[in-house]
Amino acid sequence: MKSKSIIAIVLMVLGVMVLATWQRADAARGRPPILSKKATKAIEKAFPQAKIVKVEPERKSVVVYEVELIRDGKEVEILVTSDGQIVAAENEISKDDLPAAVAATVAKHAGDAEIKEIEKEEIRATLQFVDLETPQIVYEVEFLHEGHEVELKIDGDGNILGREVEDEEDDAD
């Protein structure tokens, strides 16, 4: 009985090793590892000209992948569930690409501070992973203000949805 348990454990370990080897081989061939066929098809449909460059699980409870794409020479990060639900897409944009209402809110709160980064996030599904009829666009703007890193989340109408303030030394951790 004891030897059967040992054999079963050895077989499980070997199975895991074989699976890991296949995933590494897929990655070496340029194929995204661990991404389900449904998720891949959903990405190809939503981002037809994009090339998948990186895939990693995003959450533990529900399998959600964070996928890095290159589209028109620019990086796009998306979240996609294993069953093909596109949750969100995010990319960096310039200050000139902000809608007027968002630019006004940034100017009001950031003043003359140097804008470090602006990201446009298109939220396509809620936490229940239900398709949104119209994607929700959220802008994330990071800047330094009085020695603190500030991140604003702003909707397309210029309304502030969230604000985070960090000390510069917090980033060193």
Q: Residue 110 and residue 120: Cα distance in Å, rounded?
A: 17
On whether the pTM is more than 0.75, the answer is no
Would you say residue 63 has pLDDT above 60? Answer: yes
Q: How many CB atoms lie within 10 A of CB 96?
A: 7
Residue located via tokens 């200050």: 95
Domain 2-172 -> CATH class: alpha beta
Q: What is the pLDDT of residues 96-142, one digit of tens each?
A: 999 999 999 999 999 999 999 999 999 998 766 688 898 889 999 99
Would you say residue 2 has pLDDT above 50? Answer: no
Residues in the chain: 173
The runs of H, that is alpha helices, within 29-162 are 37-46, 100-110
Would you say residue 69 has pLDDT above 80? Answer: yes
Listed by start position, the domains of the chain span: 2-172
